[in-house]
Amino acid sequence: MRRRLLVLVTATTLLVLVAFLVPLALLVRGVAADRAVQAATVEAQTLTSLVATMDRASLGLVVEQLDATSRFDVTVFLPGGDPLGAPADRSSLVELAERGTSASAQAPGGREIVFAVDGPAGSVGVIRTFVPDDELNRGVGRAWLLLAGLGVALLLVSLVVADRLARRLVRSATELAAVSHRLGRGELDARADTSAPGELGVVAGALNGLARRITGLLREERETIADLSHRVRTPLTTLRMDAEAVPDPDQSERLVAGVDAVNRAVTEAIQQARTRGSDAAAADAADVVRERVAFWSVLAEDTERDLTVDVAPGPLPVALNRVDLEACVDALLGNVFAHTPHGTAFTVRLRAGDTGGATLVVADQGPGLPDGPTTGVLRRGVSGSGSSGLGVDIVRRTAERSGGTLRLEPTPGGGLTVVVDLGQRSMPD
């Protein structure tokens, strides 16, 4: 943008300078020529009275003296004799003057001026003066250099002014883009400078209004989520008491652990609702996956599923908080139990990512996905098996929040393999 403005100003300034300086340069040359012609005319006209009154010898001395001191060649033609003064041919213009007509015309090397003078006894004499091109153009070159210097100076001044204006416009546009990027990253306190020039200031004001509106909507959303989360705690407390009252200690312990996990998720939802926009804390993927696999292994045993676990030794820090990572793992393992028959074997593997973070792989030997593209399954609310379709979406959004990706691949021999790449973040001290 800055370069384009400079090019535009340069082109416009050059057009204006050409339109102004070219006629002015031609005018300067014309003025210089007129000045030289006028000076030669005045000088030659001083001889008019002398040609009419003096004898030939005296007139010759006067003409020679004038010719010696003049910048112009002066010649006097008298009837019946040789010309006096500077040597010159009897040109057609001189012959015209002998017939009584004064005139001037362009000649090779300069300009020729002739004056018809009435002499004694009605005879006619002719005064000829010749103005060379050097005299016609005296001072023109220096004037043109001054005009060229003036044009260059004006061009430089216009470029400096245009550069300052373009720099301000570009800086304002860049700052406006930076504020929009900050808002996109969740920095809702970012504001644009409304003092930016022209329409950029209007856009900055509109962007600030949008940021305030988004902040208000998010505040309302946080409070709504927090209120809903608080309301869920009462039935969770009742459910935990019922779980503790189950006669089977193992089953009671497993139900209580599940209720506690839901309670932690509710608590974390409240905290996230109130602190959304801040960076998520790091979690150790190895520790979380081992813990959640241990929880689901009991159900795997009850449903006669062979479970293979291969978790790399930690820590494997990822850019997620612990509750979100637990929800992601639970969604993956829950889908295995929900969408595959009893007795279906599955595998859980966790390894360090190629560029940091971790890669979680859950592969089952079930029926897999229906034939056709798998991209539709990744959309929220879309399922190939009649469920709500939110489980895979939770996993996808969790992966993307950490800077990773989600892939669905067929398992060799039949089934579905879900590969979750989780981004890296340093563990807190």
3-class DSSP state for residue 48? helix
Q: Which of the given ranges, 42-56, 84-98, 271-285, has the highest pLDDT on average?
A: 84-98
The reported pLDDT for the residue numbered 428 is 45
- pLDDT tens digit string along 418-427? 999 888 754 4
- pLDDT tens digit string along 85-94? 888 888 888 8
Q: Which residue has the higher pLDDT, 117 or 272?
A: 117
Residues 144, 28: Cα–Cα separation, whole Å? 8
Residues 39, 50: Cα–Cα separation, whole Å? 19
* Residues facing 419 on adjacent strands: 361, 407
State the DSSP code for 364.
E
**Mean of the pLDDT values across residues 2-18?**
82
Q: Which residue has the higher pLDDT, 334 or 224?
A: 334
Question: 359 CB contacts (<8 Å, ≥6 apart)?
Answer: 350, 351, 352, 353, 419, 420, 421, 422
Does the pLDDT of residue 129 top 80, yes or no?
A: yes
Chain position carrying tokens 């010159």: 88
State the DSSP code for 278.
S
Does the pLDDT of residue 167 top 70, yes or no?
A: yes
Count Cα neighbours of 102 within 13 Å in the Cβ-side half-sphere.
13
Q: Which residue has the higher pLDDT, 305 or 277?
A: 305
Which range is least confidently modeled, 247-251, 268-272, 317-321?
A: 268-272
3-class DSSP state for residue 4? helix
Residues 375, 409: Cα–Cα separation, whole Å? 11
What Rg, from alpha-carbon coordinates, does the chain have?
Answer: 50
Q: Which of the given ranges, 115-129, 285-299, 355-369, has the highest pLDDT on average?
A: 285-299
Distance of CA 255 to the CA centre of its chain: 58
- Name the band, by pLDDT with cuts 50, 70 and 90, for residue 1: low
Q: Which residue has the higher pLDDT, 348 or 95?
A: 348
What DSSP string runs through 382-413?
A: --SSSS-SHHHHHHHHHHHHTT-EEEEEEPTT
The reported pLDDT for the residue numbered 121 is 58
Residues 369, 378: Cα–Cα separation, whole Å? 12
- Name the band, by pLDDT with cuts 50, 70 and 90, for residue 381: very low
Residues 319, 398: Cα–Cα separation, whole Å? 10
- Name the band, by pLDDT with cuts 50, 70 and 90, for residue 246: confident
3-class DSSP state for residue 380? coil
- Global pTM reads 0.43
The reported pLDDT for the residue numbered 112 is 92
Q: Are 404 and 355 in contact (CB under 8 A)?
A: no
Please give the order of strands across the beta sheet that includes 346-352: 307-311, 346-352, 358-364, 416-422, 405-410
The reported pLDDT for the residue numbered 370 is 63
Residue of 251, 255, 254 lying closest to 240 (CA atoms):
255
Q: What angle do CA 287, 289, 292 make, to 5 degrees?
A: 110
Residue % of the chain over a pLDDT of 70: 85
What are the Cα distances from residue 225, in Å, to 186, 238, 268, 362, 395?
Answer: 18, 21, 11, 31, 20
- Name the band, by pLDDT with cuts 50, 70 and 90, for residue 384: very low
Phi, psi of 308 (to 5 degrees): -110, 125
The reported pLDDT for the residue numbered 160 is 87
Does the pLDDT of residue 388 top 50, yes or no?
A: no
The reported pLDDT for the residue numbered 227 is 67
